[in-house]
A and B are shown apart, each in its own frame.
Chain A
């Protein structure tokens, strides 16, 4: 509001002191690791755990990494994109129902959305391995109705990996969507109906645009971790579904090729940043960036 009188300035020192904890936090947990990651990506690729590593500004690490690993990189973005789309559709329906239709069950339903966080990510994904197992009831049922052939399986397929990603990151979609939908003044929807919009049109002309900040936040919070995830591909997929996270993990922990792992990490980060920026622009919620 423009006519609110600004409070009297307290001088720069107070502001500086208030900013200090945040600045220390960022320096310790963002700037330092980020620097170290970028430095790693520029190591001499011939280094090893035994001979040691050295920053040699070896930019060819990036092109080498892309050449060797572009398939899992693209696959990661595609899987994450599909999982995010599923999360958006499911999450929107869920968040909409909780925000507008749940009445007194609202709190309970919200608790149920975050309830999976009470057990570990790993355990939850492992239990999906049991559910989707070749002799499990899901496969049996799908085979019985001939959706799956007698030799078809779910485990070790892209379906299982994408389903796992969708399941694991759904709450990250639902919560921001809910926060955004819950804020919408119902009188605006009534006004739309009063102005000759049927409920369907009222949704697309009023509810949906007003929920775009939640859509933007939810897709970011889902897409970013999904694109970097390796647990789902490892537990629910086969080598054919390996994602970039699996490659990076393998390069770091098994091969010891720190330079390639670092380069891939930086590439992934840059790609995600570009995709997200483009998307958020498009969603018209610039104030989030």
Chain B
């Protein structure tokens, strides 16, 4: 197999489109997954994640576009000839074979002579040594999941594809398996492409996340980048929560964009402002919003908005989640850490809100401010 000029074996999708008879599932997708990364493809159900993975695995062929591994074009390579393996959404374990034989399947196909040793090592890695002689139906969901992982991993693929591998597990097991998967990935050092619709899962595990919506990549970056500096309303709403407030750009300096938001001028750092003129949405995450009874000083200098009224209080232990109606009628979320310094404000309280300018972001007014809200898991 050939190496790219710089020796890397990045997985690259270029202009990949998949059309079905009456439906375009994936639209001109461009994506680069650096070698050895834990990469998450995050998006709501039906956005084309599985279709994308199937094209990388070779189980579907793109209508147009190309897929390369390093400088090796695999767009039309047969699935059994690619250095790519998949952990399927439903596991797809072979019901007629034992766990041992399920895991050995790929090695035997590649003509490996002595499979016992690598299979046992792999079963140990996923802690299933004692289950080797059982059939898949005799295992629990979590165990089946680990067999599916072991069966793919043992082939040491250049890219391991995982299609919602934890989707069928209950919450507790899912969290445990997330840690486990992350550990295994750093141990084996392979490129993982992990598909999920669970944003917490993606953020907790991935080095890089690509947020996908309706067949296109909305934004790609590290979890911190995506969370702090979303470029689209869909990303702002699907990844965590955001309040988006209508505003008009007034002034652009070298460091800030200043916008008039219902009479208050707020500043947004220039690198987080994705509009330079005209109308826009000012976005802020609820945990970045400080709240205090009207007139009391808020201990953060920044954008200061008065005249809010608390309409909902949700005490969740570590924090209190407020909903505040602003003078212009919009309700804005504000989460206060329960540090003990502040009393809980009852519904109906007159409050002021404030946030540090560096936490806000500015989106194009063409964006639908509700995009991604319903899809959120």
Contact = CB atoms under 8 A, between A and B. Distances in A.
Interface residues of B, number: 24
Contact of A195 (B58, B78, B96, B106): B106
B88 A195 contact: no
A185 B106 CA distance: 19
B86 interface: yes
B105 A192 contact: yes
Contact of B109 (A185, A190, A201): A201
A193 interface: yes
Contact of B85 (A187, A195, A198): A195
Interface string B44-69: 00000000000001110000000000
Interface string A195-215: 111100110011001100000
Contacts of A185: 92
A172 to B, nearest CB: 25
A262 B42 CA distance: 73
Contact of A196 (B59, B94, B106): B106
B15 interface: no
A194 B85 contact: yes
B80 A193 contact: yes
B113 interface: no
A261 B80 CA distance: 59
Given A187-B88, A201-B109, A194 B80 contact: yes
B146 interface: no
B94 A197 contact: no
Nearest to A212: B96
B86 A194 contact: yes
A271 interface: no
A196 B110 contact: yes
Contact of A210 (B59, B92, B95): B95
A195 B109 contact: yes
Contacts of B58: 193-194
A185 to B, nearest CB: 7
Nearest to A194: B86
B79 interface: yes
Contact of B94 (A193, A198, A201, A206): A206
Contacts of A193: 58-59, 78-80
A192 B102 CA distance: 10
Nearest to B60: A190
Given A187-B88, A190-B79, A210 B96 contact: yes
Classify the interface of chain A: helix, strand, loop or mixed. helix
Nearest to B92: A191
Nearest to A185: B92
Contacts of B93: 191
B90 interface: yes
A187 B57 CA distance: 13
B92 A196 contact: no
B331 to A, nearest CB: 45
B319 to A, nearest CB: 38
Contacts of A205: 105
Nearest to B103: A195
B109 A187 contact: no
Contact of A191 (B84, B88, B96, B110): B88
A196 B78 CA distance: 9
A191 to B, nearest CB: 4
B222 interface: no
Interface in B113-157: 151-152, 155
Contact of A194 (B79, B90, B95, B110): B79
Given A201-B109, A209-B96, A195 B90 contact: no
A195 B155 CA distance: 8
A193 B54 CA distance: 12
A188 interface: yes
Interface of A: 185, 187-188, 190-198, 201-202, 205-206, 209-210
Given A194-B88, A198-B80, 15 more contacts: A188-B94, A191-B86, A191-B93, A191-B94, A193-B58, A193-B59, A194-B58, A194-B84, A195-B80, A195-B151, A196-B80, A197-B80, A197-B105, A198-B78, A206-B96
Of all A-B residue pairs in the complex, the 3 with the closest CB atoms, nearest first, are: A191-B92, A195-B106, A196-B109
10 contacts: A187-B88, A188-B95, A191-B86, A191-B94, A193-B59, A194-B79, A195-B155, A196-B110, A197-B109, A206-B96
